[in-house]
Structure 1
């Protein structure tokens, strides 16, 4: 059963080597580089990866291009800031050897700096399970800039949770807030492109409900101040996206 590992990146020469070094269990590695100007391409080729270079405005489009370039019957889609432990690689090979399903969710261990934060993620600002292991032809990303939706063919199989992918999500609080700014700007562009930016009251309600869900429902309180910070960012994401689209459309219109 041939397994392809897919990495989609842009100017990630600092983090790409460690990511690629953790994918030795795959039969092939495909790296998609979107408008990269650093040494990522040379690093990827030196590591034995097949490289696809181009320019894609939408995240969904570039990820679909990467999926189309993979030759394996199964594909594992990871990001440059993620590392796959060897134990997880062994478990993935075992799962695909007998799975009749279209896709599986894999556990994600999110780190801020050197701190593992297990609880509180959600609201499009982080997740602890991602559907990143799938059969060729089972997964299609929608045409959006940030957190694009997914269309699936086939059934969902068992969750792979014994071991998790190490996700170096943010370096520190400042890095987390910069990510919130990037995400909300991209989402504002998606809202403007759709012609439906929503209303302020609805997005205020979403801010409250998402913050409470992440801090209480997803047990962010167990992480102390970090959990509160993550919950606030998750709640602010749709509200900031709406405000940028409404108040500064000239800055964010695609």
Structure 2
């Protein structure tokens, strides 16, 4: 039987880490990477995980790659501390990994704001309902970026796992969603400045409009009522706000 490593990369997640790790108990190995954590996350990881890697990484891609390299399983399931894997999904994962000839599979993500499951409207870099988080060891590598880094793959994509989804406690409430938008756009501004490509204001205004309507109409956000409008606004604003931070306040966001 193929061994599965569950990988969690986190920072200061003592509140949500216990539930996440408990949901990963069916894995053959649990690996936790803690990035500059100052709370009780390390003690929780030592009690529930098989391996703990602590350090400081400026780039999200680098710390995720460090975690992948620390895994020893044939397959890796990469989740975040605010995610939990239900038993029914584990059954699907075991079924897939037992016979799949492919390098990776996308898994359904059920995004919650507080206690509300929001199905429609996820688009762009602000949220997704499918993520390529189940993969063979050696098939996936993250690019060196701060937020939503790109991926390089070796091998083919297999069937999507959609019968059951990961429970993703994405935001606690509307204020938490807006704080996430602020964090994401600051990190994206730093990436843009590091790469020397901040784009133009007209292009990013067009992105705001196109992503707003893609979220609201194309991805079914209109079915969520006011929540869909809010999600579409954040989805469209992310690239525009990132551009404005890089353009108007480069001294605050330029990497040191």
Q: Which TM-score tier does this pair reach, normalised by the shorter chain? A: over 0.9
- Cα deviation, 1:190-245, whole Å, max 9, x if unaligned, reads 00000010000000000000000000000100000000100110000000000000
Identify the residue that residue 101 of structure 1 maps to in structure 2: 102
Identify the residue that residue 8 of structure 1 maps to in structure 2: 9
1:66 to 2:67 alignment: yes
**Structure 1 CA distance for aligned equivalents of residues 50 and 173 of structure 2:** 31
1:233 to 2:234 alignment: yes
Unaligned runs of 5+ in 2: none
Identify the residue that residue 58 of structure 2 maps to in structure 1: 57
Identify the residue that residue 113 of structure 1 maps to in structure 2: 114
**Structure 2 CA distance for aligned equivalents of residues 121 and 230 of structure 1:** 7
Identify the residue that residue 245 of structure 2 maps to in structure 1: 244
Between 1:189-198 and 1:39-48, the stretch displaced more is 39-48
**Structure 1 CA distance for aligned equivalents of residues 26 and 128 of structure 2:** 24
**Structure 1 CA distance for aligned equivalents of residues 82 and 45 of structure 2:** 14
- Cα deviation, 1:146-170, whole Å, max 9, x if unaligned, reads 0000000100000000000000000
- Cα deviation, 1:101-157, whole Å, max 9, x if unaligned, reads 000000000000000000000110000000000000100000000000000010000
SS at match of 1:14: coil
Superposition TM-score, scaled by structure 1 size: 0.99
Identify the residue that residue 24 of structure 2 maps to in structure 1: 23
Q: Is the 8 A contact 1:109 1:118 kept in 2?
A: yes
**Structure 2 CA distance for aligned equivalents of residues 131 and 46 of structure 1:** 28
SS at match of 2:25: coil
- Cα deviation, 1:88-111, whole Å, max 9, x if unaligned, reads 011101100000000000000000
Moved over 2 A (4+): none
Q: Is the 8 A contact 1:74 1:134 kept in 2?
A: yes
SS at match of 1:104: strand
**Structure 1 CA distance for aligned equivalents of residues 174 and 207 of structure 2:** 23
Identify the residue that residue 175 of structure 2 maps to in structure 1: 174
**Structure 2 CA distance for aligned equivalents of residues 248 and 124 of structure 1:** 22
**Structure 2 CA distance for aligned equivalents of residues 205 and 122 of structure 1:** 16
Q: Is the 8 A contact 1:25 1:90 kept in 2?
A: no
Deviation at 1:47, TM superposition (A): 1.1
Identify the residue that residue 148 of structure 1 maps to in structure 2: 149
Sort the Cα spacing of 1:189 and 1:52 in 2 relative to 1 into closer, same or farther, 3 A: same
Superposition TM-score, scaled by structure 2 size: 0.99
